[in-house]
Structure 1
């Protein structure tokens, strides 16, 4: 039962931090350079511009066939792909496995095939999905087998574990991460490099930040008043904001308003709440009768890193088995259920579980496993806005909607 009232609880007092300063400090100690950008695709575009500038300094003609080739995981949203595409990179998708780790055999096979194409210096994007697919070993293997490769690591899903990936021994040449995916800020992302960036980002106000600032303000109003018209409007603003981005072609620095919001932040509370929510929800979902049948969980992320360091979870994904759901359905609607239809059913009960991620057709063709994840995965929010009672509600709604099919 959700408790309202009763005795106060004792809350720990914590030291509030300047998040951008903390990230800058950790990067500096690791001997790395950091820039704060508007969004994740701007961060990737910013890095891509730096790579092209360095290629030109090394005498590589970016227009030469095969000179700009990006190897990307097939399970990648368009914001990870488009910054390379709009700059003229040839895109090669490699496979991921069922545990979301990189299919090294497929990646190295495709790298080998690319060696005969012009001034081949591959750009390889890797990612630790949801903190369950560590990239340290594959980064080491890439460096050993293809020393000329430029490695970019997308650390969005492990963003608050900066001391784990921003180290002196980290292998990737670049790291990028989206801050705005974790917090209520209008914009925010970062790009990190082993060397000082050659290129600069644009400054000034943008429609993206202005629209998102207005939308986030209106959402606060909606949570206070519950007016559905406000909800429709702020969702339209968010959509317009995304449409205003130029696919990372013109990277902008993070806005002053986001920098100000991030300057006084309770990182301890955020991490602590996320870890607790993740553990509680994972346990609740694993105990549902249809777990392992109608849906499956990814391996639980390790609570401890290298014997002491705790991960801060991003989201908690599930993978639906739509075929099972249809076979076992007792209603006509259930026999025709789709992943998107089930997502809408949850949303009607107040549980929002976004699709991660719709992938492009070429990526789906390159990897059947990625296509399966793209067609069947949903992810639950477990962030600092919520608590144990909210996690119980998520599990209850999921179980109820599955039983109604």
Structure 2
């Protein structure tokens, strides 16, 4: 049995007509493309620095820096809430503030009130919904998502009142070497998982090549075929499945002493990316590796923090990055798969406790 891993080509959630309203949104190549356009706009406004959360994917800082911006950081607590005192203190000298709705969970009203207060004082808010899919409510001057984290398609939508047309056009000729590679990977991954018709080593090579192209290239334009496929997905059904799976999985792991859920309550306005936990009963990386050997591919958010000199001087962020693991509960995941994942975790943690291997 397999659980999690990268998204594969899957028609089960495809509708005959659009399943989401994207009016007022600009379709781009992905979350990175949205960041490039936002950075270009900030620089055109004379803004050279962005205040970011200290707990984030290092690729965000890398992209902003490649676009000519510098980054500073405010503290995030272990429950992924914003340290509001630190934010307000550091925002005093900033013109742009970036915040992340981690794992699809919006920040609570009191946090949003502080962010809106900064906005009223003239700061531009950049709202990162990369882990959310499509959002219902937002407060940012720039709001974006990244659909490759939610389905087997590349693309991201940007919402803003600013005119960013010129910045999109500026990058119209940027190559997108990743797209044909990741399309081939997703098709062949489905064949491998369901028919054993492909080579695992070849799949790994394809995926690594797609990730290298994604890191190197600065593609902005969205692909029309990807856009059509994304908009014809049953986003309401996928949201419902994710929420039901999260609730089921949360209950299933509640009594496992080696795991601590970061979000023990699923709020009404949340479309969860996954179920993030802290691993307490053994080394997180050992658990992750052993689950992988059992066919369970889980994501670490974000291991790169541990080795990134821009970020690893933040003790709390390093501690979080060293213990966090995201359990799979997306729309692909059945209860049988979740049961297998939970049973595997219990077994591995139990063996670690008794000294078995």
**Does residue 313 of structure 2 align to residue 365 of structure 1?**
yes
Q: Who is 2:3 aligned against?
A: none
- Structure 1 residue 50 displacement after superposition: 1.7
Aligned equivalents of 2:72, 2:221: Cα separation in 1:
29
Aligned equivalents of 1:143, 1:303: Cα separation in 2:
21
- Structure 1 residue 267 displacement after superposition: 2.1
- Structure 1 residue 303 displacement after superposition: 4.3
Q: Who is 1:78 aligned against?
A: 58
| 2:268 corresponds to which of 304, 313, 320 | 304
Q: Who is 1:18 aligned against?
A: 18
- Structure 1 residue 203 displacement after superposition: 4.4
Pick the structure with greater CA Rg.
1
Aligned equivalents of 2:54, 2:255: Cα separation in 1:
31
- Structure 1 residue 122 displacement after superposition: 2.2
Number of equivalent positions: 333
| 1:195 corresponds to which of 162, 167, 172 | 162
- Structure 1 residue 226 displacement after superposition: 2.1
Aligned equivalents of 1:14, 1:86: Cα separation in 2:
36
Aligned equivalents of 1:141, 1:400: Cα separation in 2:
44
The question of whether the paired residues in 2 share the 8 Å contact of 1:277 and 1:382 is answered with yes
Q: Who is 2:292 aligned against?
A: 347
| 1:252 corresponds to which of 204, 210, 220 | 220
The question of whether the paired residues in 1 share the 8 Å contact of 2:182 and 2:206 is answered with yes
Deviation per residue, 1:324-356 (Å, 9 max, x gap): 53xxxxxxxxxxxx3222211011111111111
Residues 39, 135 of structure 1: alpha-carbon distance in 2 compared, 3 angstrom cutoff: farther
Deviation per residue, 1:34-91 (Å, 9 max, x gap): 22111211211111112222x1xxxx3xxxxxx5111111111122111211122221
The question of whether the paired residues in 1 share the 8 Å contact of 2:131 and 2:150 is answered with no
The question of whether the paired residues in 2 share the 8 Å contact of 1:41 and 1:247 is answered with no
Aligned equivalents of 2:231, 2:73: Cα separation in 1:
38
Residues 371, 14 of structure 1: alpha-carbon distance in 2 compared, 3 angstrom cutoff: closer
**Does residue 112 of structure 2 align to residue 153 of structure 1?**
no
Runs of 4+, deviation exceeding 4 Å:
13-17
| 1:184 corresponds to which of 147, 152, 159 | 152
Residues 385, 14 of structure 1: alpha-carbon distance in 2 compared, 3 angstrom cutoff: closer
- Structure 1 residue 300 displacement after superposition: 2.6
Q: Who is 2:36 aligned against?
A: 45
SS in 1 for 2:191: helix
TM-score, normalised with respect to structure 1: 0.76
The question of whether the paired residues in 1 share the 8 Å contact of 2:105 and 2:132 is answered with no
The question of whether the paired residues in 2 share the 8 Å contact of 1:40 and 1:178 is answered with yes
Aligned equivalents of 1:377, 1:357: Cα separation in 2:
8
SS in 2 for 1:164: coil
Aligned equivalents of 1:258, 1:350: Cα separation in 2:
29
Which segments of 5 or more consecutive residues in structure 1 lack a partner in the other structure?
1-12, 29-33, 61-66, 116-120, 306-310, 326-337
The question of whether the paired residues in 1 share the 8 Å contact of 2:247 and 2:266 is answered with no
Deviation per residue, 1:116-163 (Å, 9 max, x gap): xxxxx5221101112445165434324434622111000122223x22
Aligned equivalents of 2:35, 2:109: Cα separation in 1:
20
- Structure 1 residue 365 displacement after superposition: 1.1
The question of whether the paired residues in 2 share the 8 Å contact of 1:152 and 1:173 is answered with yes
Q: Who is 1:318 aligned against?
A: 277
Aligned equivalents of 2:101, 2:231: Cα separation in 1:
27
Aligned CA RMSD, in angstroms, stands at 2.4
